[in-house]
Every structure is written in C-alpha cells, then in structure tokens.
Amino acid sequence: MSYSIQTNVNSIMAQENLRVNGDFQSRTINRLTSGYRITSSGDDAGGLAVANKFRSQTAELQQGVRNANDGISTLQIIDGGLNNIGKILDRLKTLATQSASDTFTGDRATLNLEFTTLKGEIDRQAANVGLNTGGTYNASISTYIGGGGGVQANSAVAVDLSTAQSDSAGLAITTSVIGTKAAALTALTAIDSATANLGLTQGKVGTGQNALQYAVQLAQSQVSNFSAAESRIRDADIAMEASNLTKAQTLTQAAVAAMGQANSAPQALMQLLRG
C-alpha cells in the first residue's frame, strides 16, 4: 500500500460515506417526522401512484357516505309525510263510512265539509314532502355514492318515485265527496284504492332507505379497506425507521471519526521527512 500527501484517498472515501450516511439519516428523520415512507415521488414512484389512487377512491367514498346519509334523511322526511297522509285517509274512510249508512241521522254536509278540508290537507302535506303534482321528489332520485369500479351506473343508488304522486290528484280522490249516501259509497271505493297506492309508494320509500343503508355499509367497508391499502404502501414503519435512525446516527459518527483519522494520516508521513 502506497502513501500519498497529494491525494488523501482514505479521507475522500470517508467523506463520501459521511455524505451517504447523512442522506440516509435525513431520509429517516423525514419519514419519522412525517409518518410517511414515501415523502417524494423519487422514494417509490410506482407505489405513490397506487397510493394516490386509493386515497382518491377513499375521498370519493367518504363524500358518497355523506350523500347517502342525506338521501336517507330525505326519504325519512318523505316517509313521515306519507304516514300522516295515511292517517288522513283513515279519517276520510271513517267519515265516508259514517255517511254511507242509512242509520246516520246527522248532517252529511258537515261530514262533507270535514272530508273536503282533509283532502286539502293531503295536498298541503304532499307538497311539503315534494310528492305533489310536479313536486321535487315526484321523480327518479339518484344518489351518487361511488365505488362503482369505474362504472358510474354502479356508483349510484336510484329510488324511483316518478309514480309516487301522493296529493289528492295522485291518489285519485279529488272528486270524491260524501254529501250523499251514494257519493259516500263511491268515495269508499276511491279511498280503498288511494290507500293501496299510498302503500305502494311507502314501499318504494322504505326500499330506497334500505338500499341506501346497505350502500353506506359497503362504502364504509371500502373506505376502511382502501385506507388500509394506502397505509401499507405509503405509511412509514415507525419501529423500523427508529432502528434505521440509530443505525444512521452510528454510521455518521463512525464516518466523522474515520475522516478525522484519515486527515491526520498525512501528518504521520512528515515523520519520514524529519528522519
């Protein structure tokens, strides 16, 4: 082995290792303080692309869960209105049954006044829940949730209320009256039909609520799975990085010590000249 004052090879090697170890320590500290294994594209370009896709899907599904819960709330409001309309139909049937009896000795005009007033209340309540003629929810309602595997049709839940008009016109009781026995008998038939149609609408609303609740459960499961998948790719293993930091610090200290020794070696060669 030759010795040279002009070029201190050992010092150069020690400086290079010090640089490498310093970079290793910086990356480790960056990962520990950020919590991410991938802190820049250069760390793992392919992994970052996959992790970003999972993160995007998670964001979509999280908003989709909120959309679905809003949809469930809307259907619950509609359902509450339909329940009230059902109770009004029950009262209309009671009044019509009373007027249709030959044994009724009261004033049918009074019964008919209440009957007509309650039909107006059905119209008002149907308008409040958007199921009147041209109402907001008298249509097919689509709730976008996401997670459809790239197919938008699979990303939304549709509730078809296009035939769910629940005002007096939709229930076909607009012309019903109970001012006479004959009219009351006709009204009873119309009310039975209205009750059946209202039940069909309530069934659609209930089915829609159940479908959205199942969609929420799936979306929440997908959020957990996508988040876990992103974590496995992108997040730092803190225990491993803590071990790496100790290793990097030890190597850096060793490189500094070795560089000090390498730099002092040429001084030893001066002893040859003094002899």
Instruction: Please report the DSSP string for 38-101 in residue order.
Output: --STTT-HHHHHHHHHHHHHHHHHHHHHHHHHHHHHHHHHHHHHHHHHHHHHHHHHHHHHHHT-
Same domain, 30 and 140: no
Q: Are residues 186 and 229 in the same domain?
A: yes
Q: Among 30-44, 108-122, 150-164, 241-255, name the most confident range.
A: 108-122
In a domain, 4, yes or no: no
Measured CA to CA, the distance from residue 96 to residue 182 in angstroms comes to 10
E strand intervals along the chain = 140-144, 156-160
Q: Quick one: average pLDDT of 20-38?
A: 80
> How far apart are the C-alpha atoms of 147 and 218, rounded to whole Å?
9
Distances (CA, A) of 30 to 27, 41, 104, 107: 5, 14, 89, 88
Q: Does 37 have pLDDT greater than 90?
A: no
Q: Looking at the structure, do residues 169 and 98 belong to the same domain, yes or no? A: yes
Say if 261 falls within a structural domain.
yes
Q: Is pLDDT of 1 > 60?
A: no
Is pLDDT at 177 greater than 80 in this prediction? yes
pLDDT-wise least confident of 22-31, 171-180, 225-234: 22-31
Q: Is residue 196 scored above 90 in pLDDT?
A: yes
Confidence of residue 273 (pLDDT cuts 50, 70, 90): low
93-144 pLDDT, tens per residue?
A: 999 999 999 999 999 999 999 999 999 999 999 999 999 988 999 999 999 9
pLDDT per position as a tens digit, 231-269: 888 888 788 878 888 888 888 888 788 777 777 766 666
Q: Which domain holds residue 22?
A: 9-35+236-274
Q: Is residue 106 part of a domain?
A: yes
pTM over 0.85: no
- Does 29 lie in the same domain as 150? no
C-alpha triplet 142, 143, 149: angle, nearest 5°: 105
170 and 266: one domain? Answer: no
Domain boundary among 203, 219, 234: 234
For 108, other C-beta atoms within 10 Å of its C-beta total: 20
Q: Is 1 a domain residue?
A: no
What distance in Å separates the CA atoms of residue 137 and residue 217, rounded to the nearest whole number? Answer: 24
How many domains would you assign to the chain?
2
State what percent of residues in the chain have pLDDT above 70: 93
